[in-house]
Structure 1
């Protein structure tokens, strides 16, 4: 600006033509309206790896696509078992990438925390019908604490629990089974030399999550249920670098059984239940739920001496036996995660193909 023009401007003063208005960062009005994506294909999430999800279109194991999460979903968590809507290239061809544009409401959720003081809940699997708790009868010796805590997570999450006992050639397990009398818990033999026909029947047509400590023979059992588990894992977890690791869950289709999937989860050291209260567990049983309505406020349902007026003490027959079994679960819950924790070998047994003895 010249000195003359400056003098002229100061003499006449400023007007709106001298003021420059900086436009805002966005010129279009923001909206929370999300696109409908009416043409999205239905799919089930079968693997998760570093911001990429493996999705089985129409839950068909032969139609696996890799997808990313659409921007409009923000940070919506998506886990194995979620039912999602997928748009874009759903052919599954190499180097193609689809988009997950919606996540359906979940019918069940299996959650756990790192320990009983951790406020952060980890969703292990969504929409599973059943939880198969795999426990060895020997080598390592069975621990009721882990099973009881897994049962609590199943009851609260809406899954039907099943107890699978491995290494039955080393111990008969009758005493261990007796610890769960009254819970209507289905128990099956699933050792290396056991016939898996009963287990196959229980799994048919369902999505079943498997949990267990490392070393209990879970992967050996998975390899018997899915004989080509190594190849199948490579197909369904073909996201990111395309490799299934011990830190991820993966859903595997059971051959010869339509709509039948097992979710192989990592071998875990503990099953934290910071999100579970005693009432959550008891309410899973209709007869016990009705009974505790007469309990005093703050009752933990553990019975004397902690709760001398607990209404569960007034039950009889089958309900009384169930109440005592549920109390065992509550004791494990109240004792903290230490009783359910055990040191593991360095290698995680959960990856398919490992040579754990069953």
Structure 2
């Protein structure tokens, strides 16, 4: 073994390289004081689409955030290329504290409770009065999730031309939940969207509802034409709709601020 004297030369000292790379290890992280604020619009396999001012930017989460996940609605801070041009990628370096959350509870397919939407002001529970029949237990679960996560609930009842809304509204009257009642012809003419829009202006709203209730048709009437989504029909045999909207994404209100 080679021994060093009291005053060894620098050339005599052996430096062990970092086995994980050439950068020295440090716990000091940059503050990113020049980061720009944005809102998460979609999340897809590690890539997040964010709205930064008036630009849509593709980003990924910084390693320093660890396992903390960003969801639709999160307010984040980004660095890097924020131009929004094709083949550019920014980096999310900070996720702001959430003022409200909408959680998906654990079930047989997914044993973990997950946050699916953050920072929404209200939860619009869309349900048809007939074709398909209302599901009170699903409405109850949505209301519990809204109250637990800090969102104000809103009942949107569709297809009132097929069945009256009185019995269902009476069930929840004691809770004082705001509600909107629409018909099928109003969905097609756009009048239903005008009725619902009054409750959406100036707020961030999460829409939920089982398949076939007219949720996607209503959302298409509320958002710009180039942001429309595919709709499906109710099965005449089973009385159930086909899932056509299965992901979470944020869409701008076409007429108004929401």
- Superposition TM-score tier, normalisation by shorter sequence: 0.7 to 0.9
Other-structure match for 1:223: 220
Other-structure match for 2:209: 212
Other-structure match for 2:2: 16
Other-structure match for 1:132: 124
Name the CA distance, whole Å, in 1 between partners of 2:133 and 2:97.
Answer: 39
Other-structure match for 1:48: 43
The alpha carbon displacement at 1:191 in A equals 3.6
Other-structure match for 1:297: none
Q: Name structure 1 gaps, 5 residues minimum.
A: 1-14, 235-244, 261-358
Question: Which residue, out of 15, 19, 28, partners 1:25?
Answer: 19
What are the equivalent positions in structure 2 for 1:1-358 lying under 5 Å apart? 15-16=1-2, 23=17, 25=19, 30-58=25-53, 60=54, 63-115=55-107, 119-194=111-186, 195-196=191-192, 197-228=194-225, 231-232=226-227, 246-258=245-257, 260=258
Deviations 1:49-106 (A, max 9, x none): 1111010013x4xx11111111211221110000000111111111111111110000
The alpha carbon displacement at 1:255 in A equals 1.2
Q: Structure 1 residues 88, 161: closer, same or farther in 2, change over 3 A?
A: same
Deviations 1:13-54 (A, max 9, x none): xx427xx99655267663333211111111000111111101
Structure having the higher helix fraction is 1
Other-structure match for 1:328: none
Name the CA distance, whole Å, in 2 between partners of 1:202 and 1:24.
Answer: 58
Contact 2:128 2:213 in 1 (8 A): yes
Name the CA distance, whole Å, in 2 between partners of 1:33 and 1:246.
Answer: 43
SS of the aligned residue for 2:174 comes to: coil
The alpha carbon displacement at 1:142 in A equals 0.5
Taking structure 2 as the reference length, what is the TM-score of the superposition? 0.81
The alpha carbon displacement at 1:201 in A equals 1.2
SS of the aligned residue for 1:156 comes to: helix
Instruction: Count matched residues.
Output: 228
Deviations 1:98-141 (A, max 9, x none): 11111000000000224289651121200000000000000111
SS of the aligned residue for 1:193 comes to: helix
Q: Aligned-pair RMSD on alpha carbons?
A: 2.3
The alpha carbon displacement at 1:149 in A equals 0.8
Q: Structure 1 residues 77, 190: closer, same or farther in 2, change over 3 A?
A: farther
Taking structure 1 as the reference length, what is the TM-score of the superposition? 0.59
The alpha carbon displacement at 1:169 in A equals 1.2
Deviations 1:160-187 (A, max 9, x none): 0000001111111110111101111001
Name the CA distance, whole Å, in 1 between partners of 2:214 and 2:198.
Answer: 20
Q: Structure 1 residues 223, 71: closer, same or farther in 2, change over 3 A?
A: same
Structure having the higher strand fraction is 2
Name the CA distance, whole Å, in 1 between partners of 2:228 and 2:88.
Answer: 19
Q: Name structure 2 gaps, 5 residues minimum.
A: 4-13, 230-243
Contact 2:224 2:252 in 1 (8 A): no
